[in-house]
Structure 1
Amino acid sequence: MTDSEKAVSDNGSGLSQQDQYRARKQLPPAAPVLHETIRLLGEEELNRNLSALWWSALAAGLSMGFSLMARGLLQAYLPEGNGFYLVECAGYSVGFVIVILARQQLFTENTITAVLPFMSSASWQKFGCLLRLWLIVMLGNLAGVALYAYGLGRMELFEPKVLHAFSAIGEEVMHNSPWQMFSKGIMAGWLIAMMVWMNAASSARLMVVLIMTYLISIGGFTHIIVGSAEVLYLVFHGQASLASYVVDFALPTLAGNIVGGSLIFALISHAQVRGDEQLNVEKSP
């Protein structure tokens, strides 16, 4: 038998071992690999000190304000019509692109990355670290978007029609009932969790972020951080009350984002990987 014949695999593929290796390298990462990648990111986040978390979360909140600004500018200068609405919604993705590519701390990302370490090794200590992370990141994000929303209308940066567009975007959010805020929040949390999962597998991170956040925008799904910028703009201009922001928007949307990101997507993904591991254990001699 020649050396070339020995190099051909006996699995029926007709490929040499070198070609099989090259083929395997082209395969996307398996689910357990993605799970472990995101779990390690979550462990890193859980172990960050409070100061680093706070400043990163504050920066993310300020960055997310650009979603409101970009969409408002597009709405103000585009003609009315359903087709132009689809273009306007692209502005919603701007804040997410900044936050994700700059690796800033965004609350809805943490609903999967920080939850997987807890699901993998549940303990009261891990649960306490998770709650600490959520609290600091949430407060930092909300402080950032509040500052942005306040400054957006006070710094005389834009024409009146642009400011009117900012108000119209906030009013569009507040037209939802609390139940709609919750149910639409589930979809937004689910999509963000899928975005994080897909980013771990893809080199085209920018495209993944654009597609998933664009779906949130055109679907009118509610996101606790972007939506806070939109609704707090109304609060600071006397068009909505702080109580309405908290009760009608923030609480149901926050609950929906957590359910969609943690209790649905993260739990299902974790269960899938644990099921594969159990199957492999049963198959092993």
Structure 2
Amino acid sequence: MADERTNDEKTEDRQEADERSAPSARVVYGAVIEQGEDELKRPVASLFWSSFAAGLMIMASLWVSGALHHYLPETSWAGAVADLGYPFGFLIVILGRLQLFTEHTAVAVLPVLRKPSGRGARGLARLWAIVFLGNMLGAAAAAGLAAHGHVQSTETLDAMVAVSRRLLDRAPLETLMQAIPAGLLIASIAWIRSATEGSGFWIVFAITYAISVSGFAHVVAGASEAFLLLWHGDVSARWVAFGFVGPALLGNIIGGTGLFALLAHAQVKEEVPTA
């Protein structure tokens, strides 16, 4: 049977189909590339203060998790419910567009992979160093405030310390391996948000809850717990640096940069120009 629709009706159908279709991987890649290029161009002061604020705000994850832990009974499912607090710091940081190591730093790798150069590599190293330093200083400051600033009840602080002590159950190698999937998942947030509209809250919540309930290790969120243990007197600075932060950092880089960024680039490299 012949198609009796008018040209206008066919055009409208095509437009509606385009609107209902998810963007192609090439389109998402282009959007993420633009984000990465913007991050690489930001001034040093802007990067530092944004990353410092992110390190401060990530403490919300531990505050809420600690509060939930305090009010929950000692049951087999209490840990999974307390883990619902973990996404809160990430929601503030990511939706607030603050600089978080493994999210923005993974995005910035894509422009360098697309057009490799010494200048691009130096710019990426600059971004990584500033964001990581700012995140660590912010996390250390927030943990110090929580430990000695009386900003929460003693009961909540004790629960926060109890939650943080889970880090002590891991050997450094275990932390490194458990940080790889965390880096991969956090790096995927920018890609997924570029492919969807209006669901950023639930994307961040679902992915970060999955990280927590699965026992994976994120270097910045975990650093707030490690620094709290340090200021509380449970661990040494050496353990913070080499028992948690170092292995978690390496694992997050492998997962976020080595796996996600390379795979994201590989799937479209034949479809996009390099010049």
Q: TM-score, with normalisation over the residues of structure 1?
A: 0.91
- Report which of the two structures shows the higher radius of gyration computed on alpha carbons: 1
- Tell me whether 1:118 sits opposite 2:112 in the alignment: yes
- Tell me whether 1:150 sits opposite 2:144 in the alignment: yes
- Tell me whether 1:35 sits opposite 2:29 in the alignment: yes
Shift of 1:83: 2.5
**Conserved in 2, the CA contact under 8 Å of 1:111 and 1:258?**
no
Please name the residue that 1:173 is paired with.
167
Could you tell me how far apart the structure 1 residues matched to 2:212 and 2:54 are?
Answer: 19
SS at 2:98 equivalent: coil
2:243 to 243, 248, 252: 248
Please name the residue that 1:50 is paired with.
44
**Conserved in 1, the CA contact under 8 Å of 2:145 and 2:151?**
no
Please name the residue that 2:80 is paired with.
86
**Conserved in 1, the CA contact under 8 Å of 2:105 and 2:127?**
no
2:214 to 215, 219, 232: 219
Could you tell me how far apart the structure 2 residues matched to 1:190 and 1:77 are?
Answer: 32
SS at 2:58 equivalent: helix
Shift of 1:86: 1.8
Could you tell me how far apart the structure 1 residues matched to 2:3 and 2:24 are?
Answer: 33
Could you tell me how far apart the structure 2 residues matched to 1:139 and 1:50 are?
Answer: 12
**Conserved in 1, the CA contact under 8 Å of 2:51 and 2:132?**
yes
1:233 to 225, 228, 232: 228
Q: Which runs of 5+ in 2 are unaligned?
A: none
Please name the residue that 1:182 is paired with.
176
1:189-228 matched pairs, under 5 angstroms: 189-203=183-197, 204-228=199-223
Shift of 1:59: 0.8
1:49 to 1:76, Cα distance in 2 relative to 1, 3 A: same
Could you tell me how far apart the structure 1 residues matched to 2:71 and 2:87 are?
Answer: 18
Shift of 1:44: 0.5
Q: Which runs of 5+ in 1 are unaligned?
A: 9-14, 279-285
Please name the residue that 2:95 is paired with.
101
Please name the residue that 1:11 is paired with.
none
Shift of 1:264: 0.5
Shift of 1:101: 1.1
Shift of 1:158: 2.9
Please name the residue that 1:7 is paired with.
7
Please name the residue that 2:66 is paired with.
72
Shift of 1:3: 11
Q: Which amino acid aligns with 1:264?
A: L
Could you tell me how far apart the structure 2 residues matched to 1:211 and 1:4 are?
Answer: 47
Could you tell me how far apart the structure 2 residues matched to 1:3 and 1:267 are?
Answer: 45
Q: Which amino acid aligns with 1:224?
A: V
Could you tell me how far apart the structure 2 residues matched to 1:145 and 1:263 are?
Answer: 25
Could you tell me how far apart the structure 2 residues matched to 1:186 and 1:31 are?
Answer: 24
Could you tell me how far apart the structure 2 residues matched to 1:82 and 1:32 are?
Answer: 45
Shift of 1:4: 5.3
Q: Which amino acid aligns with 1:240?
A: V
SS at 1:82 equivalent: coil
Shift of 1:108: 1.2
Could you tell me how far apart the structure 1 residues matched to 2:181 and 2:228 are?
Answer: 24
Could you tell me how far apart the structure 2 residues matched to 1:37 and 1:176 are?
Answer: 38
